Chain A
């Protein structure tokens, strides 16, 4: 195998174990076209992929979905990842986890849990997740996590409808003994792109969120670490997406496609290799999708001559594709983009849709049995 090492080895891998999920959050980052259950990789294939990832240089393995607890072999998968020497992080809504199952995951060597938070009360959380009883169950799961002693990060996904609950979310994180909270304003990919009217924060909300986070970071220093993802459309500069395309991380979809980022399938001219067909290291170093936007050679103006080009790498390729129709354009969130003024106006229009209702994500399920 030839591996022209055009990039450093990846640090992190996101294993999307399944697209199945009991929740149907309207901002789900899964693609609109989801992988069916029977197309999901087997326990044996994931086990091989985890070893290939470790041999490639991956240190952090994020087990996600959909809801990873929907995989019956989750404990076996954690054990396999642990055996490969990877640091294992379970990204979950908590639904599908019992105390017994959490104890099994503990015994299998699970390192850390990231628990999602849709709201601070059942009325809010269950409406957003589209799953009645979900919040109460999540609170039970949080208790078990604390009791067993797993390090915990809360992942609070924020948008126009629940941003006012941020102070209570911070309190919840403290009460639960979480070491960290991710205050993540919704990024508009996947299903969220369809729900911009219902989810877009107002400019005032975006500013208030930054103020609350800044104050809380000082107040909670050394007790609770706050990672903050600001409201994208209201920012001046784009985000350094994935730390730079093909530079630090990779994603594997439930059916084995290897992506440079979770939304990469929205770029129509890219083709993706599968772990069933090609070794992971070969895909990382030589795969066409990974080399498409690596480094800075692909850039056009205004990125090409910009002094921030290795700071944010032109922002998000998938967002440029979705909003400007060109994946090699400057992310329109950037104030230097010729499309930025239109984006700001568009954001304000979305944010003014007071009564917009949610368009929930659907479940991938199984292929319907053929009718005779």
Chain B
């Protein structure tokens, strides 16, 4: 994932708070992916407008962590979602 690329959740993929299990999940076609706090934080910033660079910059400030580390972790997480067609990317 490049800094200028813009991630977006495609139609049919959405964040959902599971009140029964008290966790965040990503609902996708015939799948439900359990999200940890980090995964939820990353996806909460994905709005289809801001770039990967902008999102990770904001997360670095929010969590007071090095931006390189945030970029690396986020790229791995979003890349896995992209491979499953749960995330689209435009540039």
A residues engaging B (CB < 8 A)? Answer: 9, 11, 55-57, 59-60, 62, 85, 87, 89, 111-112, 114, 149-151, 153, 179-180, 221-225
Contacts and interface: CB of A to CB of B under 8 A. Distances in A.
A60 B11 contact: no
Interface string B5-16: 000001111001
Contacts of A225: 83-85
Given A11-B32, A59-B32, A60-B27, 13 more contacts: A57-B20, A57-B21, A59-B18, A59-B25, A62-B30, A111-B12, A149-B11, A151-B11, A151-B29, A153-B29, A179-B10, A179-B29, A179-B85
Contacts of B30: 60, 62, 89, 112, 114, 153
Contact of A60 (B20, B32, B83, B84): B32
B58 interface: no
Q: Which secondary structure dominates chain A's binding surface?
A: loop
A150 to B, nearest CB: 7
Interface in B3-61: 10-13, 16, 18, 20-21, 25, 27, 29-32
B10 A221 contact: no
Contacts of A179: 10, 29, 85
30 contacts: A11-B32, A57-B18, A57-B20, A57-B21, A59-B16, A59-B18, A59-B25, A59-B27, A59-B32, A60-B27, A60-B30, A60-B31, A60-B32, A85-B16, A87-B32, A89-B30, A111-B12, A111-B27, A111-B29, A112-B30, A114-B29, A114-B30, A149-B11, A150-B12, A153-B29, A153-B30, A179-B85, A180-B85, A222-B83, A223-B85
B66 to A, nearest CB: 28
Nearest to A222: B83
Contact of B29 (A9, A56, A112): A112
Interface residues of B, number: 18
Contact of A222 (B13, B16, B25, B82): B82
A9 B21 contact: yes
Nearest to A178: B85
B65 to A, nearest CB: 28
A221 B11 contact: no
Contacts, number: 56
Interface in B45-91: 82-85
Nearest to B18: A59
Contacts of B20: 9, 55-57
A102 to B, nearest CB: 14
B29 A180 contact: yes
B27 A87 contact: yes
A221 B27 CA distance: 21
Contacts of B25: 59
Contacts of A222: 82-83, 85
Contacts of A57: 18, 20-21
A153 B11 CA distance: 13
Nearest to A87: B27
Greatest chain A CB density within 10 A among B27, B29, B31, B82 is at B29
A153 B82 CA distance: 16
Nearest to B12: A151
B52 to A, nearest CB: 16
Contacts of A87: 16, 27, 32
A368 B59 CA distance: 67
A132 to B, nearest CB: 31
A7 to B, nearest CB: 13
A179 B87 CA distance: 11
B8 to A, nearest CB: 14
A221 B83 contact: yes
A9 B25 CA distance: 15
Contacts of B31: 60
Most buried by A among B20, B30, B32: B30
B16 A89 contact: no
A225 B85 CA distance: 7
A153 B30 CA distance: 9
